[in-house]
Structure 1
Amino acid sequence: MSALVEAVFPRRLGRPFRWLVSASWTSNIGDGIALAAGPLLVASQTDSAFLVALAAMLQRLPWLVFGLWAGALADRLDRRVVVMAANTIRAVVIAVLCVFIATGTVSIGMVLTAMFLYGVAEVFADTTQQTLLPTLVPSADLGTGNQRLQAGFLTANMLVGPPLGAFLFAAGMVWPFAAQVVCVALAVMLVSRIAAPPGTSFTTVRDADSHIRKDIAEGLRWVWQHPPVRTLSVVILVFNITWAAPWGVLVKYSLDHLHMSEVGYGLLTTASAVGGIVGIFVYGWLERHVNLATLIRVCLTLEVLTHGAFALTTTGWVAIAIMFEFGVYAFVWGTVSTTVRQRAVPKEFQGRVASINMICVFGGLVLGQGIGGVIAENWGLVAPWWFACAGAGVTLVLVWKSLSHVAHAGSAR
């Protein structure tokens, strides 16, 4: 058992890192439970397709509205306290929703309000939590740290949580949300155990009299004036637009174009998670043996080729194999891009740059889904894949040379 603990939580990274990973994994189980139970609750309260779509939008809207503010506060306040406070608010919101569900007084309006409030608190919690790792571990170990955090997201949020949430919802509408409250509350307790290493602090020294809008502008200006981080932000934005365009209509693509059954669609989505598990195990070897610039270029090239492969295939099993391959490189890309960003950004800007990164992610998803829907409606279900392949391909060509600077930006500080 001690050997397993050492493999998952290397002693050299310290006990605070273990508390951070434990809190992240626990919180992700709760989020994974809600990933399945949330839509089921919405569907139980309304037959309106508009309200169902609105519920999905409310999960991403807070990132676009409050993301920059969350980043600025993360760089202004004690980051550990911000994470604890935001997660406490999340637990309270869901606990109140549980009361309405248990008493039979829940309505679609209450559900949508709870989802929005929960999403707002999640923006502050997730943005700030990204800034804790660079404080706790040396720069050289950020790849290992992010691998462990990403692994928890993949297994807890995507594999363990959703089926558990669906099972609990079938047992009783209130149970998955009660379980989510317990998970988030436990995460708060675990974060409270984290202590900053000697000589470091979770608070960055800032001018307390400056307005938060000045902090936001300063963060935006810092990203714009640092080409490697700016390039990485542009890549993340564009690749999320091109990724979301076909993935927004993936269910129709699988059913109507590939002629897969509902079970086949489930296998299609599960294949990416299985591929991600493989990515967990190969990442350490890749980081030790492959140049980071090469790793970034390979991942982005595979993204382009994956879109093209989906556009060309007409067979369900081939699509599942492609999805498995996507899961492998997507995990590697997520871990590498986060590590590169954290190494390149000074600690006093970690929160604001992390929030800009997340706005690029969610802004790209929102834009991409809208574009993909229009393209599919007018030119068919394969057209969004060609759009994604072309858009990602052109972007990759334009940034190819600068990716070496992106990969090693942290060494210049």
Structure 2
Amino acid sequence: MTVAARPAKATAWSSPAFRFLLGSEAVTLSGSAVSTVALPTLAVLELRASTTEVAVLAFFGQLPSAVALWAGALSDRHPKRPQLIASDLAAAGALVTIPAAVLAGALTVGQLCAVAVVLGAAKVLRDTAAISLLPALVDPGQLHDANAKIGAASSVADSAGTNAGAVLVGAVGPARSVLVDALSFVVSAVLIWRMRVPEVATAPRARTGLSRDIADGVRYVARQPTIRTVIAALSTLSFGLAVMNTYWAYYLLDRLGASPTVLGVIMGVGGAGGVAGALVAPRIAARIGIGPTIIVGFAVSPLAQVPLLCAGPGPRWQIVLAATLAGQLFWATASGTSQRSLRQAVCDPNFQGRMQSASTTLTAGARPLAAATAGGLVLLLDVRATLAIGALLQVVPVVLLLASPIRALREIPARAAVPPAREGA
């Protein structure tokens, strides 16, 4: 008797549309990682930006998160592919103005701030559309696998882009290196254009105004306990990290004497940790539970800041910082993949865009305030003390999660009923 072979379980990779989205995410993150090295180098080492100007640049880069709620409402109303393409092309157009200004001898910190605003707005629109589109591209059972693959590819792209950025900055200068990022957005736009997936706007066809759609989305998030708790933890963690990130590159380049190449290598090694975290995230969640996976990822973040606060100049400390960042990003990616899958799985399809935009508003929206806070703190204290305060703030989300039912969550639950949000009422 012949036993029929059991068909292999389909993964997210079996969806052509998902593969295009995966490629788009990877290529844009790879290019943006080059700019992560190039832009701080351009500001700090070539334009000789002061600590205040560094804080202002960080503030403007995060300011566009204020439009996230509108981006979410638009995402739920309209097809998402055109939004992805438009945001990619806008980002590419903004980036090419930097080398053009350098050639003309006219680049200023003010122009970098303007470019940062455009890039920030494009990122908000793009991320909202991409994340809310994902559940429509794969089966529900493939969602965690899809997020893990995106996380792994993104981490590889980020690591490769950071290392490439370090090499490019040294070889052709930071301004020309930015062109690689611009090209990455053009490639991404082509990939999304080639994606073929039927899209139906999930919000009601009756137009009641974006303000009403936004209010409905906020009410939905506020009434969904799992989503509400995760977003609250994300926003508080984001604030603490943003306080530190305002001066993180500055601290390494100026106070610890790291070169742009060393900065890129440290970030690249950290990215490798992120790759590993994304690849094993589903297995970690299966072993210890999705709730503990999320909490451990949050808890590692403040602990990982201790070596930075104790570090001094020299290669030994640079190795320690690279290893610590790798461990931090390992758990951050594993936790991020898990919490994103959890939120997408329990969220009503009609509110995917607005749920994500609420998360972006509270997480990314905290960053301009954090950058301004960091700028004020550095005037009263110093850079190292400001970094220490940012690290302490990262303990708060751990307490929030430990006090919630998420700590006992072992599997992703089915979508729970939520009191009606009076959609369009």
Q: Which bracket does the TM-score occupy, shorter chain normalised?
A: 0.7 to 0.9
CA distance in 2, matches of 1:265, 1:95: 24
Matched, 1:47 2:48: yes
What residue number does 1:211 align with?
209
Structure 2 CA distance for partners of 1:261 and 1:313, relative to 1, 3 Å: closer
Asked if the contact 1:242–1:392 (Cα under 8 Å) also holds between the matched residues in 2, the reply is: no
Does the CA-based 8 Å contact 2:11-2:142 persist in structure 1?
Answer: no
Q: How far did 1:11 drift? A: 6.9
Equivalent residue pairs, number: 398
Aligned-pair CA distance for 1:215: 0.9
Q: Distance in 2 between matches of 1:343 and 1:312?
A: 41
2:168 alignment partner AA: L
Per-residue deviation, 1:83: 0.8
Q: CA deviation at 1:161?
A: 1.8
Report sequence identity in percent: 22
Shift of 1:334: 1.1
SS for the counterpart of 1:188 is helix
Name the amino acid aligned to 2:389: P
Which residue of structure 2 aligns with residue 356 of structure 1? Answer: 358
Are 1:262 and 2:258 matched, yes or no?
yes
**1:329, distance to aligned residue in structure 2 (A):** 0.8
Tell me how far apart the structure 2 counterparts of residues 227 and 406 of structure 1 sit (CA, whole Å).
16
Structure 1 length-normalised TM: 0.82
CA contact (8 A) 1:308 1:389 kept: no
Which shows bigger deviation, 281-290 or 185-194? 281-290
Larger displacement relative to structure 2 (390-399 or 137-146): 390-399
Verify the 8 A CA contact 2:278 2:337 in the aligned structure 1.
Answer: no
**RMSD, aligned α-carbons:** 3.6
> What is the distance in 1 between the residues matched to 2:344 and 2:335?
14
**Deviation at 1:372?**
6.1
1:384 to 1:253, Cα distance in 2 relative to 1, 3 A:
farther
Secondary structure of residue in 1 paired with 2:196? coil
Q: Aligned letter for 1:94?
A: L
Could you say if the C-alpha distance between residues 177 and 326 of structure 1 is closer, same or farther in structure 2, counting changes exceeding 3 Å? Answer: closer
Give, in angstroms, the shift of residue 14 of structure 1.
1.2
Q: TM-score, normalised by structure 2?
A: 0.80
Say if 1:45 and 1:107, in contact at 8 Å, map to a contact too: no
1:79 paired residue number: 80
1:194 aligned residue: 195
Cα deviation, 1:143-193, whole Å, max 9, x if unaligned, reads: 111112122322223x22234334434415653233222211111110012
What is the rounded CA distance, in whole Å, between the counterparts of 1:60 and 1:28 in structure 2?
17
> Do structure 1's residue 152 and structure 2's residue 148 form an aligned pair?
no
What is the distance in 2 between the residues matched to 1:371 and 1:111?
A: 21
Aligned equivalents of 1:135, 1:360: Cα separation in 2: 25
Gaps spanning 5+ residues in structure 1: where? 1-8
Q: Structure 2 vs 1, CA of residues 46 and 69 (structure 1 numbering), >3 Å: closer, same or farther?
A: same
Contact 1:154-1:277 within 8 A present in 2 as well: yes
Compared CA separation, residues 312 and 44, structure 1 to 2 (3 A) = closer
Distance in 2 between the 1:324 and 1:240 partners? 18
Secondary structure in 1 aligned to 2:202?
A: coil
Which residue among 223, 226, 238 is the counterpart of 1:225?
223
Say if 2:329 is the partner of 1:327: yes
Change (3 A) 1:296 1:269: same
Counterpart pick for 2:400 among 395, 399, 412: 395
Alignment of 1:57-76 (within 5 A): 57-63=59-65, 65-76=66-77
Matches of 2:264 and 2:179, distance apart in 1: 26
CA distance in 2, matches of 1:266, 1:172: 14
Give secondary structure in 1 for the equivalent of 2:204: coil
> What is the aligned partner in structure 2 of residue 13 from structure 1?
14
Is contact 1:135–1:202 with CA below 8 Å preserved after alignment?
A: no
Paired letter, 2:84: V
Specify the alignment match of 1:5 in structure 2.
Answer: none
Checking the alignment, whether the CA contact within 8 Å between 1:254 and 1:265 is kept in structure 2 is yes
What residue is the counterpart of 1:239 in the other structure? 237
Equivalents in 2 of 1:114, 1:371: separation in Å? 22
- Could you tell me how far apart the structure 2 residues matched to 1:111 and 1:298 are? 36
Secondary structure of the corresponding residue to residue 131 of structure 1: helix
Q: CA deviation at 1:102?
A: 4.0
Contact 2:162 2:267 in 1 (8 A): no
Alignment of 1:365-380 (within 5 A): 365-368=367-370, 374=377, 377=381, 380=385
SS of corresponding position for 1:195:
coil
Compute the displacement of 1:118 (Å).
2.7
User: Helix, strand or coil for the counterpart of 2:207?
Assistant: coil
| Native 8 Å contact 2:78 2:201 kept in 1 | yes
